[in-house]
Structure 1
Amino acid sequence: MIRRRELSGSEWDFVRPLLPRTSAGRPRRDDRMVLNGIVWKFRAGAAWRDVPERYGRPTTLHTRFHRWARDGTFARMLRRAQAKADAAGQIGRLVSIASAVVRVHQHAAGPKRGLPAPGRSRCGLTSEIHMACGAVGRPLAFVITGGNTNDCAQFTAVMEAMLGPRTGPGRPRLRPDHLTADEGYSSKTIRAWLRRRGIAHTIPERADQIRNRARLGSSGGRPPAFDKQLCKRRNVVERCFNGLKQWRGIATRYDKTADSCQATLTLASLLTWA
């Protein structure tokens, strides 16, 4: 029987081939049981010691999660899942980018070990997730920063993080056919970056930019092209954030370390590809 917050049969069939294999040492505890315990912990937003006993000892779950977080196991699993989807033609060439703020719990507000550390904004201590997703609303790349970080400052980092391996011949796919974003990414630097790479984009101008161009008259230049209907398709990234924040451990940040925070979001993103 599959309990609430556990991996479904289809999710486990998707994840099982991506798990690392060991050829030496003692056999590790059942991967499905341990992974179910890890998923339960972050979906419920509970402490490790509160994970039900049916998933094994909390120390086993904690050790396995942090080992896979530090050695990049979750990141490699996500890349392999994306490469598999790319080979099957399941990644659309329309990319949307946005950011979302998450509150930081007091348990994560102690001494910081590594980046990203929580930032202080109008909402208190927060972190911010900058993410790009495909046309069907599955995460392609993300960067985690403090909540007081500007969206424009992380645009290049998110776009460069989209570079991933391919299962077949050819170079990794990085350049989308079209990119949509909100007013927070409306800057001359970003538009010039996209034009140099031949990436068409739909980004609405901010009100102050429209006023400044009107004030300059003919010397203000022409307004950038804008497709209102195509811009409406940007809601896929908002729906993606909505799905990820169903995990209570993502909607509120409880992790102090950068590795744990990154691995939690990576694991949730991996399961969206299932």
Structure 2
Amino acid sequence: MLSRGDLTDGEWAVLEPLLPVSNNRCGRWRDHRQVINGIIHRLGTGVQWRELPERFGPWKTVHKRHLLWSADGTWERLLRHVQSAADAEGDIDWNINVDSTITRAHQHAAGAPQTPPPAPSPSKGGRRRPVRRAGRRDAARPPGGGGAPGEALGRSRGGLTTKIHIAAEGRCRPLSLLITPGQRADCTQFELVMDKIHVPRAGHGRPRRTPDSVSANKAYSNRKIRAYLRKRGIRHAIPEKKDHKAARLRRGSRGGRPPSFDKARYKDRNTVERAIGKLKQFRAVATRYDKRG
């Protein structure tokens, strides 16, 4: 479902049975298909929520439904269902590729409300720390380095940025996705991205979580990642960094054997780049306008 147009009849037939039929607080839901089409339109064009065309209904309804389904796991459940159906038909290539991409954040993305830390209890002998007055540098910096904690907004060389970490299967479709502040190193998020791969079986059995092989660039070349893949029995194609190779050679026989590297397998790493390119066809993904992660 990487199309930027409205849902087709076939796509809607797959999604409709999985969506909630009522809302205990407000009675029946507004037409789900109309709302989802509004969300797709907004993600594709990057338009402000309040500027949505009238054919999608009230913009507040579309916006709140998107926030609610992001928080309660509805979008994740829909993705798992589609992945499960594709896996049952043998339509998933389990030679996956991992990479990340930077998304520049618009200035309107900063300033999400922050939750104040709890005050220390006097009965437990806690004392308040003196409140430091904000200097000139603090006043110019957005709260929390760019946004409230947990909103995946941070500062890097490009200013306010968000980083998207993605594992894509061999047909350029995402299997798992994680967002972090833009200054997060790729290698620190590798295991989290891999652990989010969770494709349920169509029948009985545990969800599939282990790919046939993994390919990644030099940013993921370290002992911890190689040990993680080796422990799970996953073949990998990750090139060795020059400084790592030089350090290994300096140690001679104590440096150990060079890690295996399949050049032919590494050539398929372009699939994750193409998956990122498809995601960034959505203007609201290519540029972050939202305050909430």
Distance 1:72 1:63 in 2: 14
Structure 2 partner of 1:156: 191
Structure 2 partner of 1:270: none
Matches within 5 A, 1:211-230: 211-230=246-265
Runs of at least 5 residues in structure 1 that lack an aligned partner in the other structure: 259-274
Return the letter of the residue paired with 1:20.
Answer: P
Structure 1 segments, 4+ long, off by >6 Å, are none
Q: Give the superposition deviation at 1:170.
A: 1.4
Could you say if the C-alpha distance between residues 187 and 171 of structure 1 is closer, same or farther in structure 2, counting changes exceeding 3 Å?
same
1:58 aligns with 2:93: no
Distance 2:31 2:286 in 1: 29
Structure 1 partner of 2:155: 120
Q: Give the alignment's Cα RMSD to 1 decimal.
A: 1.8
Q: How high is the TM-score relative to the length of structure 1?
A: 0.87
Distance 2:152 2:178 in 1: 13
1:139 aligns with 2:140: no
Distance 1:63 1:187 in 2: 42
Q: Deviations over 1:159-205 (max 9, x none)?
A: 11112432211111111111111101100011011111111111001
Could you say if the C-alpha distance between residues 22 and 87 of structure 1 is closer, same or farther in structure 2, counting changes exceeding 3 Å?
farther
- The equivalent position to 1:196 in structure 2, one of 231, 234, 237, is 231
Paired residues, what number? 255
Checking the alignment, whether the CA contact within 8 Å between 2:195 and 2:209 is kept in structure 1 is: yes
Structure 1 partner of 2:33: 32
Report the structure number with the largest CA radius of gyration.
2
- The equivalent position to 2:209 in structure 1, one of 158, 174, 180, is 174
Distance 1:7 1:252 in 2: 23
Structure 2 partner of 1:253: 288
Distance 2:169 2:242 in 1: 28
Checking the alignment, whether the CA contact within 8 Å between 1:114 and 1:257 is kept in structure 2 is: no
Which is richer in helix? 1
Distance 1:83 1:113 in 2: 35
Checking the alignment, whether the CA contact within 8 Å between 1:5 and 1:44 is kept in structure 2 is: no
Q: Deviations over 1:32-62 (max 9, x none)?
A: 2111111111110011111111111111211
Return the letter of the residue paired with 1:74.
Answer: W
Checking the alignment, whether the CA contact within 8 Å between 1:204 and 1:226 is kept in structure 2 is: yes
Return the letter of the residue paired with 1:165.
Answer: P
Q: How high is the TM-score relative to the length of structure 2?
A: 0.82
- Paired-residue identity, %: 48
SS in 2 for 1:129: strand
